[in-house]
Amino acid sequence: METLDLAPMIRAAGTVRLPGSKSISNRVLLLAALADGQTRVHDLLQSDDTERMLDALRTLGVPWQHDVAADCFVVDGVAGRFPVADADLFLGNAGTAFRPLTAALALSGGNYRLSGVPRMHERPIGDLVDALSQLGAAVTYTGNPGYPPLTIGKGTIRAGGTVSVRGDVSSQFLTALLMAAPLTGVAVHIEVVGELISKPYIEITLNLMARFGVQVEREGWQRFTVPGGACYRSPGDIHVEGDASSASYFLAAGAMGGGPVRVEGVGRNSIQGDVRFAEALEQLGVQITMGEHWIEASAPASGRLKAFDMDLNHIPDAAMTLAVMAVRCDGPCHLRNIASWRVKETDRIAAMATELRKIGVEVEEFDDSLRVTPPQTLRHAAIDTYDDHRMAMCFSLVTLAGTGVTINDPACVNKTFPGYFDAYRSIASPVPVVAIDGPSASGKGTVAARVAESLGYHYLDSGSLYRLVALATIRGGVTDDAAIAAVAETLPAEFVGGKILLSGADVTDAIRSEECAAMASKVAAIPAVRDALLERQRAYRQAPGLVAEGRDMGSVIFPDASSKFFLTASVEARAQRRYKQLMEKGLPANIDSLSQELSERDARDAARSVAPLKKLPDAVLVETSDMTVDEAVRFVAERIA
């Protein structure tokens, strides 16, 4: 499985042009296909879900082409009758393709077989099939009753009458019925049973049907009438708005990372319900400004995101973004009325709870709500994404809450936003790292500590971690690699006020012995030890920045470091420095044996197979043999990017 490591971010600001809305794109494609005349669709979302719809339309004999020069998709409508009357359609996990196509094909008088990925076969469709049956359609389940896959036969469509459909599981059932109703040629009255959820999505459907010439009459949200004889006519050109759900990640980034972050493609006049995410952000104190086609978000003036308790039924997709923002709020947050999460790409309530807990958040999970209590600190975790694009995009935001994350299967964002991570990195700036590597006694510790102090950055002496493992190993009499790695995994070390503690005891001087240094070099060659210490070292990357020194800071731990240095000096110069250091501490020393030990240690550190000591091509070489400490510090400080 592919994974993506995201560093902790220090701020977010900039502008993102949004990809087209998934909900609008797939509705427009189907309406354009069913319409009379040619439609030129501009700004169509190009992603897995729209590809499923485009593939299906091609299989059904609807002519369409991508006019690359004009940057639009041209669909030649079939005026309500698909040319291919017998076909197999695979629709992946695209609910916005599966439900409307089911309805349109069920009322088309052909024979079709519709299937998807395993998760699609777990997503209920029974309420839609029941409603279509009331109209005389012949739809049967080929797997579990109530779920795809489906077989559609030639039904006998009944004239007039009223059909009822449940509105409290997925609003896509009503959308599908509404869009397909004109194919019957007769008036169709639809009554919604139960409280209609996600109403803004129905507004999108009605708005787009009107753009294609079909006006639906409605009485509140309970009763809809599609008039008899209604048929779709192409509006000629149609523009797809930017995706308001995708906008939520960037607006949240502006709120969590300072901002301003502007999204272009949706704004004040959007027909998408998820633009109301901006109102939800305002309740958190976020500063929002809006134009006709853009929205901008900046952090609250107070600097604190306010805790919230909100009914989020009207913005179910964007609500996921709020669940992750809750980790930075100033108190427990309750997300209510989100039961529809359970039947989306995955059970999003369960998935969100599981993954938030991995990063150290306290989460209470209820049937239709989530309560999130922000922790003092977050920890790094590998986030499972459940083949759910929104899980991947949401969890990128924890990088603005003080920790890095690993996103498993990041390509799942292709469902709606193939370029998501590039767009995110274009507005989010990683916490800067100055990586200083080099051999023993080259002066990297001294220089790194001074540079960190002058910049006000955190400081990581990575060698001390290997020395601590070495000391624990010596003291515990541990010899085999697996046991040494286990020591590294659970190393009970603390850094308190300039002192280094192991199991609570001060070992600041003990880890500096030559015996410990030699052992450190040996345990550092064990791959499992290095793996065990990896995230522990990365956790030092915190705002406002980090200066990290060791052997593999620039190559393995922080390969994206903003500045990299390789500090070195001749063996003679380094042996002299170490000799002086020991003499000052009143410890016995011998120049020749120090030279010998340094050379052996350098050779071992440079020859090992994992993370060997070496100068990277992108590191600045600092030859300190003839430099004073002050000169070396100045040399580095002047070259920090």
Ligand X SMILES: Nc1ncnc2c1ncn2[C@@H]1O[C@H](COP(=O)(O)OP(=O)(O)OP(=O)(O)O)[C@@H](O)[C@H]1O
Binding-site residues sit at 22-23, 27, 95, 123, 170-172, 198, 317, 344, 348, 390, 415, 438-446
> Is residue 317 among the annotated active site residues?
yes
444 lies in the binding site for ligand X (CB under 6 A): yes
Task: Give the C-alpha separation, 214 to 464, whole Å.
Answer: 72
User: In terms of Cα–Cα distance, which of 494, 495, 561, 486 is closest to 531?
Assistant: 486
Among 550, 574, 577, 622, indicate the residue that binds ligand LCLUPRNS (CB under 6 A): 550
Build a one-symbol-per-residue string for 433-452: x at contacts with ligand LCLUPRNS by CB under 6 A, - elsewhere.
-------x------------
The CA dihedral of 576, 581, 587, 591, to the nearest 10 degrees, is: -10
443 lies in the binding site for ligand X (CB under 6 A): yes
Find the part of the chain contacting ligand X (CB under 6 A) among 270-278, 285-293, 323-331, 621-629. 621-629
The DSSP secondary structure of 572-586, one letter per residue, reads: HHHHHHHHHHHHHTT
Which residues in 579-618 contact ligand X (CB under 6 A)? Answer: 581
In SS3 terms, 268-316 reads as CCCCCHHHHHHHHHHHCCCEEEECCCEEEEECCCCCCECCCEEECCCCH
Distances in whole angstroms, Cα of residue 476 to Cα of each of 50, 487, 489, 517 = 60, 9, 15, 17
- Sequence-ordered list of residues with C-beta below 8 angstroms from that of 458, at least 6 positions apart, any chain: 452, 540, 541, 542, 545, 546, 547
Min dist. Cβ of residue 498 to ligand X (A): 15
Among 183, 256, 423, 524, indicate the residue that binds ligand LCLUPRNS (CB under 6 A): 524
The answer to whether the bond into 544 is cis (omega within 30° of 0) is: yes
Among 234, 577, 611, 613, indicate the residue that binds ligand X (CB under 6 A): 577
Task: Give the C-alpha separation, 98 to 120, whole Å.
Answer: 9
SS3 25: helix
The DSSP secondary structure of 74-117, one letter per residue, reads: EEE--TT--S--EEEEE-TT-HHHHHHHHHHHHTTTSEEEEE--
Min dist. Cβ of residue 587 to ligand LCLUPRNS (A): 16
520 binds, among ligand LCLUPRNS, ligand X, none (CB under 5 to 8 A by kind): ligand LCLUPRNS
Identify the sign of the CA torsion 305, 306, 309, 312. negative
Q: Per the annotation, where are the binding residues for ATP?
A: 438-446
Min dist. Cβ of residue 641 to ligand LCLUPRNS (A): 21
519 lies in the binding site for ligand X (CB under 6 A): no
Among 430, 445, 545, 554, indicate the residue that binds ligand X (CB under 6 A): 445
Build a one-symbol-per-residue string for 605-634: x at contacts with ligand LCLUPRNS by CB under 6 A, - elsewhere.
x-----------------------------
Q: How many CB atoms lie within 10 A of CB 205?
A: 26
Find the part of the chain contacting ligand X (CB under 6 A) among 122-130, 420-428, 436-444, 588-596. 436-444
Tokens of 340: 């529809």
Min dist. Cβ of residue 564 to ligand X (A): 16
What residues line the site for ligand X (CB under 6 A)?
438, 440-446, 463, 577, 581, 624, 627-629, 632
Binding site for ligand LCLUPRNS (CB under 6 A): 440, 462-463, 466-467, 517, 520-521, 524, 550-552, 601, 605
Active site residues: 317
